[in-house]
A and B are shown apart, each in its own frame.
Chain A
Amino acid sequence: MAAHAPTTGHTLETNTGLDNRKLLMWLFLASDCLFFGSFIAAYLLYRDRNVVGPYQDELYDIPFTSISSFVLLMSSLTMVLALAAIQRGNMRAMRIWLVATALLGISFLAGQAFEFTEFYDHGLSLETNLFGTTFFVLTGFHGAHVAVGVLILLSLVHASAIGKLTEKDSLAVEIGGLYWHFVDIVWIVIFTLVYLIQPG
């Protein structure tokens, strides 16, 4: 996790020493673990139970999804650089790195849209079988999380551009970063359990 925000007089004294908003985000992410955990559990439960195709091994394009996974993971690097920039007081660099993070996130979403379309064209939809049901809903909710993350990133850029977000507010970037890294980590779990480990 990134270093604590520099003391700015902005952060209230709390019993735990953690800012209220940061603690809120940590607890929300803990809650979100069970959200994704439940969908992943449903996917794994149903993985081998399809009564009709198309099946996983007919559709997955592992090299393609590996590339889009790599793109998403790189966005965590640019997110860290954005936080480092605002902590140094370099708002311009922060905006550049935030935009870069958002663009990487959008690339990932574009990859997902392409993948969904491909699968659909090969006859997989929500209605087709358990694979379609569990796969689209799980990865769709992950995509929705990424989309919300992109919105948060662009809002930070916008707030900084109109002067609402200043050097003192590195905590806001840090909290946005917590969310973004979490969404990345969830993807690592999904990519491993859903794509790489296939029904035998």
Chain B
Amino acid sequence: MAVTTAGALTHGQSESYSGLWSWLTTVDHKRIGIMYGVTSFIFFLLGGIEALLIRIQLAGPNQTFLDQDQYNRIFTMHGTTMVFLVVMPMSSAFFNLLVPLMIGARDVAFPRLNAFSYWVFLAGGIFMNVSFFTGGNIFDGEIGAPDGGWFGYAPLTLNEYSAGDGINYWLLGLQILGIASLAGGLNFAVTILNMRAPGMSLLRMPVFVWMTLVTSFLLIFAMPVIAVALFQLMFDRLFDANFFNPAAGGSPLLWQHMFWLFGHPEVYILILPAMGIVSEVLPVFSRKPLFGYPFVVFSGVAIGFMSWGVWAHHMYTTGLGTVANSAFGIATILIAVPTGVKIFNWLATMWGGAISLTTPMLFAIGFISMFTIGGLTGVTHSMVPSDYQQQDTYYIVAHFHQVLFGGAIFGLFAGMYYWIPKFSGRLLNETLGKVHFWLMFIGFNLTFQPMMILGMLGMPRRIASYPEDYGWDIWNGIATGGAFLIALGVLVFIINFIMHLRTGAKAGDDPWDARTLEWSIPSPPPHYNFAQVPQVHSVDDWWHTKYVEDPQGRPVPIPAGAAVATHDDGHHGDDEHDIHMPNPSFYPLLAALGLPLIAFGLLYSYPLVAVGALILVVGLYGWVYEPASD
């Protein structure tokens, strides 16, 4: 029925390539990537404000800026937002922007499914945040967000212990977001497996594409597990089922097993894309190929497999028994090996290189240093007896911010400074970029290193206030100051971004003298990406069209003109007017609209479920029956 590529002639489509409607109906992976990026950045600001509220409350002892109830809701939304509405979709933004360009394709395998993923993500994000308004008068501080933590442990999240609609919004919102993630994972797995340019074998793919592939498979297998856990919680809360009801014999550990069976692969879903970004940035600014490319790739794959065998290290103190604890402890120690392999390969990539400390490079180096600390603290609580001491203390909070902020967020900012010029056509200001980096780097360390000490001093997580005289005041004060420095850094980034759109220097096709295919085409890329589908001969193919090596292994530029001859390979370009691109479509948006209606219906009025389902079905039928091509 549907044909995936053949479509309108490009000159026909370009007429409708501006205006709001064109964004609502776009199926262009670059535009969808931009929408993912902007939306997730807005959620990043929201999650950041929540973090600042937490830090204001904890700045000193016995504070009453937030009450216990508000505090629970704010930290729950902070965690949920940063994991599901920031790091995951921001990684998705990079998948969308880069994967087709890096593998030499004109779009993803399923452009409309891609648009559907975005709209479902947006719907889920908005739905989740609507929960703030359901607690009464929000201006009187009666906020109604979920209060069960981002991990939502049942039975504590059953109606009995958490009344109101907060948790319902949380579980339905995550269910919606899961659909977006699953659709994205499926789409990118197929795209990478099936749509590579001629000559681009799997082991010639950029490491970022490899990490996207591993992440996609983790999404494909992890999302159904959390979906089941969320359905179970939904049936317990909305339809009086007994999955987590201890009185009926239900196990209080079932949720923890389900959640962490999803949750630990999820950790790698969050970090692998950033590792991929760093693996692209480091070689470019060291002017050396990535050291040990196959080792980096297979370490990423090994992490993907091993991530399924470590979940119970979140549950040592639940009494699983010595054998189980030891087995999961050993597996957790082992997963540090491929991670360590990657870190040494990154260091060896920089070793002896002609390093230029541009902003993306600074963030990449920041990633390596901060992530290493995060990884090593992780090893300390892979040890069961050590973890008994650390469980539920600020040491854990420090650890996962060290890997997810010091790791993932730094990696994502490296990617932003590196690739934004490709899509805006203009360079970001380097001075402001460096100010941003140092504010964030210093602020980050001031915020989270004191939390390590607080953990050692025994400060528990999730407490809304603490008494004086515990020796916690000074470290909490420093952490709060650091958090505001981070906020200042983000402000500098926003200013830099807005300014660069107007006054940034023109980037040109290849401002960094880079290595991968996306730099071989104009900035911003035309909507059909490649005028001619590239022929790939090696890893870093674009670099090898620009440079040969002298006997000492130093790069020697190929004279202009010669490069074209070696690259062209007698493969004649398509006339631009013959390039077939998919048609824009309204149906992905329409179908996505059905999902939040179903969710609202489950909470407030069952007929609305039918309306939502009808919209979903109409959207899907319109989608299937409309011509993807003319």
Residues of A within 8 A of B (CB): 10, 12, 14-16, 18, 20-21, 23-24, 27-28, 30-32, 34-35, 38-39, 42, 45-46, 49-52, 126-127, 129-130, 132-134, 137, 141, 155, 159, 164-165, 169, 172
Contacts and interface: CB of A to CB of B under 8 A. Distances in A.
A5 B387 CA distance: 56
Given A39-B228, A164-B625, A126 B109 contact: no
A18 B189 CA distance: 13
A56 to B, nearest CB: 14
Interface string B132-174: 0000000000000000000000000000000000000000000
Contacts of A159: 1, 625
A161 to B, nearest CB: 13
Given A34-B221, A129-B248, A42 B190 contact: no
B239 A14 contact: no
Contact of A14 (B110, B195, B228, B242): B195
B60 to A, nearest CB: 45
B186 A31 contact: yes
Interface stretch (B33-41, B249-257, B375-383, B560-568): B249-257
Contacts of B2: 21
Contacts of A172: 1
Interface string B211-243: 000000000110111011101100100011111
Contacts of B187: 24
Given A30-B220, A51-B249, A127 B231 contact: no
Nearest to B4: A20
B209 interface: no
Nearest to A137: B235
Q: How large is the interface on B (under 10, 10 to 19, 20 to 34, 35 or more residues)?
A: 35 or more
A7 to B, nearest CB: 15
Contacts of A10: 3
Contacts, number: 115
Most buried by A among B3, B242, B251: B242
B239 A126 contact: yes
26 contacts: A12-B5, A14-B194, A15-B195, A16-B193, A16-B194, A20-B109, A20-B110, A20-B190, A23-B190, A31-B223, A35-B225, A39-B228, A42-B232, A45-B254, A46-B249, A49-B249, A126-B241, A127-B239, A130-B242, A130-B249, A132-B241, A132-B242, A133-B235, A133-B241, A133-B248, A164-B625
Contacts of B221: 30-31, 34
A46 B251 CA distance: 8
A126 B237 CA distance: 12
B227 to A, nearest CB: 6
Contacts of B249: 46, 49-51, 129-130
A24 B190 contact: yes
A46 B250 contact: yes
Contacts of B251: 45-46, 49
B171 to A, nearest CB: 15
> Interface majority SS on A: helix, strand, loop or mixed?
helix
A12 B628 CA distance: 14
B481 to A, nearest CB: 44
B207 to A, nearest CB: 18
Interface string B477-496: 00000000000000000000
Contacts of A130: 242-243, 248-250
Interface in B1-23: 1-5
A129 B242 contact: yes
B401 interface: no
B240 A127 contact: yes
Interface in B593-630: 621, 624-625
Contacts of B225: 34-35, 38
Contacts of B189: 23, 27
A127 B241 contact: yes
A137 B232 CA distance: 8
Contacts of A50: 248-249
B220 A31 contact: yes
A103 to B, nearest CB: 21
Contacts of B194: 14-16, 18, 20, 23
Given A15-B193, A46-B249, A127 B242 contact: yes
Contacts of A45: 251, 254
